[in-house]
């Protein structure tokens, strides 16, 4: 509830920003998905190589009473931080990608959030607040589960994705780490090499197989 209040406060002071107008590349337009289809939209935007940002957090998944009584751990489930909302850069590529966005499974046919005649967007300071909320929610969940949150990858590290509806369990190699600590992971999806943006707490280093390590000695 607090997170939604903060996003509402960030989006409320919207000014005119017609589609196609030259805006700062660090600004993000607010787009809407179909109800409960945020992850479907995410998967299809990745396949279409359309830049986007879907803030997500972790929640404990449901398990049967029988499994819970047996001591089974609740699985980690990725859920959107803001249900039905994702963001795309308000840059020169937006016009080129807009038709594809409208036709992307999981997105609404008219996805742009509007206030009257004007498109809603987040200014850089508001987006930073969104990223902080996302990071703090994820860290709090991982700490409650007794997980480490301090892994800082380097370019070239082989890693696996911890929790993600699309890439969970997949392996890849770190291609870049930006000034905010966001990681670009180079991985293979549907037989195609793709670059995916992740946070450090979404990945873990791939450990060498002890058997292989023994064979190399």
130-172 pLDDT tens trace: 888 988 888 888 888 776 665 667 778 888 887 655 566 788 8
Q: Find the farthest-apart pair of alpha carbons in the chain and give their distance in angstroms, rounded.
A: 68
Residues 100 and 122 in one domain: yes
**Letter string b/e over residues 93-125, b meaning 16 or more CB atoms within 10 A of that residue's CB:** ebeebbeebeebebbbeebbbeeeeebbbbbee
Domain boundary among 146, 173, 206: 146
Residues 133 and 167 in one domain: no
Q: What is the DSSP letter of 13?
A: S
Residue 213's CATH number = 2.30.30.30
Question: Residue 85 pLDDT > 50, yes or no?
Answer: yes
Residues 108 and 201 in one domain: no
Which residues have a Cβ under 8 Å from the Cβ of 97 and sit 6 or more positions away? 50, 88
15-51 pLDDT tens trace: 333 333 333 346 899 999 999 999 899 889 988 889 8
Count of structural domains within the chain = 2
189-209 pLDDT tens trace: 667 787 888 877 778 788 654
Domain boundary among 110, 131, 146: 146
Residues 98 and 167 in one domain: no
Domain boundary among 146, 164, 193: 146
Output the pLDDT for position 217: 37
Residues 142 and 154 in one domain: no
Residues 135 and 85 in one domain: yes
């Amino acid at each position: 509830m607090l997170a939604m209040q903060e996003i509402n406060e960030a989006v409320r002071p919207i000014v005119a920003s017609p589609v196609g107008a030259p805006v700062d590349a660090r600004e993000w337009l607010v787009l809407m998905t179909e109800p409960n289809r945020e992850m479907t939209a995410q998967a299809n935007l990745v396949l279409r190589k359309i830049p986007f940002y879907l803030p997500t957090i972790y929640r404990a998944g449901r398990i049967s009473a029988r499994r819970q009584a047996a001591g089974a751990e609740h699985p980690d489930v990725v859920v959107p931080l803001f249900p039905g909302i994702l963001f795309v850069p308000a840059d020169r590529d937006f016009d080129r990608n807009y038709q594809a966005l409208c036709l992307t499974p999981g997105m609404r046919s008219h996805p742009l959030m509007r206030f009257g005649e004007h498109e809603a967007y987040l200014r850089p300071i508001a987006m930073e607040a969104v990223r902080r909320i996302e990071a703090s929610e994820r860290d709090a969940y991982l700490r409650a589960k007794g997980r480490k949150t301090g892994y800082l990858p380097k370019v070239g590290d082989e890693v696996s994705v911890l929790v993600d509806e699309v890439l969970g369990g997949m392996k890849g190699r770190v291609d870049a780490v930006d000034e905010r600590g966001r990681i670009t992971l180079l991985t293979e999806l549907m037989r195609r090499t793709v670059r995916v943006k992740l946070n450090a707490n979404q990945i873990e280093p791939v450990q060498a197989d002890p058997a292989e390590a023994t064979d190399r000695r």
